């Protein structure tokens, strides 16, 4: 069993007031992202990748945009993103924590 304790793992800044930490096996990656710059007037620019993604809203509220659909989500909600589909979020609260899972691994997230 692998254990990753949040207070012991290095956090990577990904933008001003945004950071992440992660863990992975050979085939699956989990990434915790903390956004501390909300609420925002607009959604972030959309992005896409060849990975399957499933995300859990652990804290805060967002509007998730997946393709041409959007939905307001809060703590306990989840969403999925198929490979190569544009997606993004808009922060509705000051703090948002998302827990993202990816397969295959996001090699671009590894150092």
Split into its structural domains, the chain has a count of 1
Domain of 92: which CATH number? 2.60.120.10
d(CA 6, CA 33): 12
Tell me if 50 is assigned to some domain: yes
pLDDT in tens, 57-109: 999 999 999 999 999 999 999 999 999 999 999 999 999 999 999 999 999 99
Tell me if 3 is assigned to some domain: no
Beta bridge partners of residue 101, listed in sequence order = 30, 54
Tell me if 49 is assigned to some domain: yes
Domain span including residue 88:
12-109
CA angle 36, 39, 42 (to 5 degrees): 120
Tell me if 2 is assigned to some domain: no
9 pLDDT above the threshold of 70: yes
Coil, helix or strand for 102? strand
Closest by CA to 56, choosing from 28, 18, 97, is 97
Q: Tokens 């793992």 identify what position?
A: 9
Average per-residue pLDDT for the chain? 96
Tell me if 60 is assigned to some domain: yes
């Amino acid at each position: 069993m692998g254990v990753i304790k949040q207070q012991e793992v290095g956090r990577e800044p990904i933008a001003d007031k945004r950071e992440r930490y992660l863990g992975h096996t050979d085939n699956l990656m989990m990434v915790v992202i903390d956004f501390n710059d909300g609420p925002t007037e607009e959604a972030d620019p959309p992005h896409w990748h060849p990975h399957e993604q499933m995300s859990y809203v652990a804290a805060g509220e967002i509007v998730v945009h997946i393709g041409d659909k959007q939905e307001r989500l809060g703590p306990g909600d989840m969403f999925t993103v198929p490979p190569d589909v544009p997606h993004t979020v808009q922060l509705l609260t000051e703090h948002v924590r998302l827990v993202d899972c990816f397969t295959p691994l996001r090699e671009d997230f590894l150092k």
